[in-house]
């Protein structure tokens, strides 16, 4: 049996690693089945091209089901987008919120963890200056209407398809129409890729739950639910239980405020 020389061995190893990396990159960026919901209320089906979470907080790359047109859409154009990876459902929601240090709200996407009155999301942020390059399809009307279904779309959706084109990369700036996505707390600095934030539509601000002094701040946030506050103060929950806490609060809040 022939033996590989050290140089040949290293060359073979390098080629194998490069092939594996190329294959992993192609798999990571493979379009995944999914759909987008426009601000006009239409559901458009097709495929989503996965990207790092921070990039997807600015915009999503969407391929229409019929045809090969690629659209770069932002949180002013879409109410949400959803795609499927293996058995996981990934959903991003367009949120209107004020950045830290500003009272002017702007829109961005966040990956949903828990839906309801109190909403929990993953939040990735820029540690450095400037931000990540992204593409935008531009601003369109944000009027809401009922969905017309996937087979028939509104004039809004047709306008979205016809006018949303790939544009050169843009670097977001502070106080621009896009969030800067900076750190929200000193404690949260340790989790740049997987910070959890809580959001309520009536407050229009994100709170970094990793920055909470737990359970004190949690008890303040959920002060309108006395039983939950009592359990928080008694030590029944730990900070890692925040998703469970939010779901319990939402179940209680829904029971207190049933929809007609």
- List pLDDT tens digits, range 173-218: 444 488 888 888 877 666 666 789 999 988 888 999 989 999 999 9
- Highest-pLDDT range among 107-111, 135-139, 153-157: 107-111
Average pLDDT, stretch 123-131? Answer: 66
| pLDDT for the residue 154 | 57
43 forms beta bridges with: 37
pLDDT in tens, 28-68: 579 999 999 999 999 999 999 999 999 999 999 999 987 77
Cα–Cα distance measured from residue 84 to residue 65, given in angstroms and rounded to the nearest whole number = 15
Answer whether residue 140 shows pLDDT above 80.
no
Q: What average pLDDT does range 138-160 have in this prediction?
A: 41
Question: Do residues 133 and 171 touch, judged by C-beta distance below 8 A?
Answer: yes
Q: What proportion of the chain, given as a percentage, has pLDDT over 90?
A: 51
pLDDT at 149 over 50: no
pLDDT band at 166 (very low <50, low <70, confident <90, very high): very low
Phi, psi of 196, rounded to the nearest 5 degrees: -105, 130
Higher pLDDT pick, 88 / 22:
88
Smallest CA-to-CA distance from 178 within 53, 74, 100, 62 is with 74
Dihedral sign from CA coordinates of 140, 141, 146, 152: negative
Does residue 81 have a pLDDT over 60? yes
CA distances (Å), origin 49, targets 7, 18, 132, 258? 39, 22, 17, 38
Long-range contacts of 248-253 (CB under 8 A, 24+ apart): 249/116, 249/117, 249/118, 249/222, 249/225, 250/114, 250/115, 250/116, 250/117, 250/118, 252/225, 252/227, 252/228, 253/116, 253/117, 253/118, 253/225
39 touches 78 (CB < 8 A): yes
For residues 60-87, give the mean pLDDT: 91
Mean pLDDT rounded to a whole number for the chain = 77
Q: What is the pLDDT of residue 138?
A: 33
Give dist(CA 239, CA 88) in Å, integer: 24
**Per-residue confidence band for 11, with pLDDT thresholds at 50, 70 and 90:** low
Phi (first) and psi of residue 59, to 5 degrees: -160, 165
pLDDT level of residue 243 (50, 70, 90 thresholds): very high
Long-range contacts of 213-222 (CB under 8 A, 24+ apart): 214/238, 214/239, 215/239, 218/242, 218/245, 221/118, 222/118, 222/249
Name which of 202, 184, 196, 204 is nearest 257 in CA terms. Answer: 202
Distance of alpha carbon 251 from alpha carbon 182, whole angstroms: 31
């Amino acid at each position: 049996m022939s033996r590989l020389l050290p140089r040949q061995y290293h060359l073979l190893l390098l080629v194998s690693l490069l092939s594996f990396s190329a294959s992993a990159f192609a798999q990571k960026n493979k379009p995944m089945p999914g759909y987008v919901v426009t601000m006009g209320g239409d559901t458009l089906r097709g495929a989503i091209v996965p990207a790092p979470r921070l990039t997807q907080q600015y915009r999503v790359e969407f391929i229409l089901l019929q045809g090969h047109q690629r659209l770069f859409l932002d949180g002013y154009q879409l109410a949400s987008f959803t795609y499927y990876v293996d058995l996981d459902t990934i959903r991003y929601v367009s949120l209107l919120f004020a950045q830290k240090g500003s009272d002017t709200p702007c829109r961005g996407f966040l990956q949903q963890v828990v839906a309801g009155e109190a909403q929990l999301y993953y939040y990735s942020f820029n540690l450095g200056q400037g931000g990540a390059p992204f593409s935008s399809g531009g601003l369109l009307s944000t009027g809401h209407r009922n969905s017309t279904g996937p087979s028939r779309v509104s004039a809004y959706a047709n306008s979205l398809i016809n006018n949303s084109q790939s544009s050169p990369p843009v670097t977001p700036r502070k106080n621009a129409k896009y969030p800067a996505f900076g750190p929200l707390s000193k404690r949260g600095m340790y989790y740049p890729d997987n910070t959890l934030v809580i959001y309520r539509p009536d407050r229009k601000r994100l709170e970094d739950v990793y920055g909470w002094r737990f359970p004190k701040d949690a008890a303040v946030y959920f002060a309108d639910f006395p039983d939950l506050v009592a359990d928080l103060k008694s030590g029944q929950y730990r900070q890692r239980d925040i998703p469970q806490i939010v779901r319990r609060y939402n179940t209680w809040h829904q029971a207190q405020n049933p929809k007609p």
